[in-house]
Amino acid sequence: MRLLLVIAALRSGGAERIVVRLAADAAARGDTVTVASAGGAWVEQVLATGGTHATVPLGRRSTLATIAAVRPLAAVAREFQPDLVHAHNVRAALAATLALARPPARRRRRPALLTTVHGLAEADYPAAVRLLRRCGGTVIACAPAVGRALLDAGLPPHRLDVVINGVAVRRPSEADLAGARRRFGIGDRPLVLGLGRLVEQKAWPTLIEAARRIEGADVLVAGDGPLRGELEAAAAAGGGRGRFAGQGDDPAALLGLARCVVSTSSWEGLPLALLEALTQGVPVVATAVGGNVDLPADAVILVPPGDPAAVAAAVDRVLHAPGLAERLARAGRAAAASWSLDRMLGAYRERYLAAVNGRP
């Protein structure tokens, strides 16, 4: 199979990690793989899997940028001659649809198209579905809640499939844990951990405000992004109770040190960081948005978005309520098989073969 994966960029992020995993799995199965994106730090990971990378200008979020990417993407498709194009998120799907509509230099069968939606802000679903209805192929939601939102916005049910995000978690060694303690200045106080990009979607100011109400714990966010300076300044102005420590190279080690993982996002798909935390038995406090609501009710504590008091109260329960953290940890580990990496890769493989062979 000749597989073309299309994504806006290959920077740090959940969708990007899944693309790298899909490229590695396909290459290991003997497929020929190319990833088309605007580039980024993770291009090297694609190349390390045996795949190739083609640069197309999809990095900026605008209609004009998406249209500008069509001609370069069409050239990639003509040269690569894929059997299957797997687009990730709506702009990539639109660019791929328009690119595949351009007359090829030499005609083979038109490649099959799949699109994975990795989550959207609630208000964006109607416009996204209007575009997806004009694109071909099956739309795959990364979580049941994302699928429900797509259906509610008008996506025809026969166009929808669901493949739940998957993770594989390496158990950190004692040396890994000690290195993370040194790098991030983690002492003996309980660690309350946030993991993710420093972007508006993640609503980290909610955690900054909550940190002022969390007593006796160290609140740390590991991640990077365009809002880092602004968030660091806000945390310092709030008394320095929350710290933004930059990108962590080894999230498994940080999870191994954490007593609680917190996600304050205003919207989500299905965050890999939360799946990794639950797999390692780390209790999770998360906003009741997107795929978070599909997580096992006995493994997470869900709170309303934008409510620092609710976040602080939930974290306090995890840290101090007798037996609660242990019950949450057991439930998370017990459910982890539902979101294993092998299960996700196998499910996508089934969809790839069905699409290439012309089956729905």
Report the CATH number that the domain containing residue 132 is assigned in CATH. Answer: 3.40.50.2000
**SS3 state of residue 55:** strand
What range does the domain containing 36 cover? Answer: 2-166+340-356
Inter-residue contact 1 to 352 (CB < 8 Å): yes
Q: Are residues 37 and 152 in the same domain?
A: yes
Digitized pLDDT (tens) for each residue of the chain, 360 residues in all? 999 999 999 988 999 999 999 999 999 999 999 999 999 999 999 999 899 999 999 988 888 889 999 999 999 999 999 999 999 999 999 999 999 986 655 556 789 999 999 999 999 999 999 999 999 899 999 999 999 999 999 999 999 999 999 999 888 999 999 999 999 999 999 999 999 999 999 999 999 999 999 999 999 999 999 999 999 999 998 787 889 988 866 789 999 999 999 999 999 999 999 999 999 999 999 999 999 999 999 999 999 999 999 999 999 999 999 999 999 999 999 999 999 999 999 999 999 999 999 866
Residues 134 and 205 in one domain: no
Number of structural domains found in the chain = 2
Round to whole Å and give the CA distance between 24 and 6: 15
Element (H, E) at 127: helix 125-134
**Do 68 and 199 reside in the same domain of the chain?**
no
Do both 228 and 185 map to the same domain? yes
Same domain, 254 and 328: yes
What's the token pair of residue 114?
């799949």
Whether residue 148 sits in one domain with residue 15? yes
Asked if residue 261 and residue 161 are part of one domain, the reply reads no
Q: What token pair was written down for 344?
A: 């996700």
Q: Are residues 16 and 150 in the same domain?
A: yes
Question: 355 with 138: CB under 8 angstroms?
Answer: yes
**254 and 348, same domain (yes or no):** no
User: Crossing angle, helix 204-211 and helix 308-320, to 10 degrees?
Assistant: 60
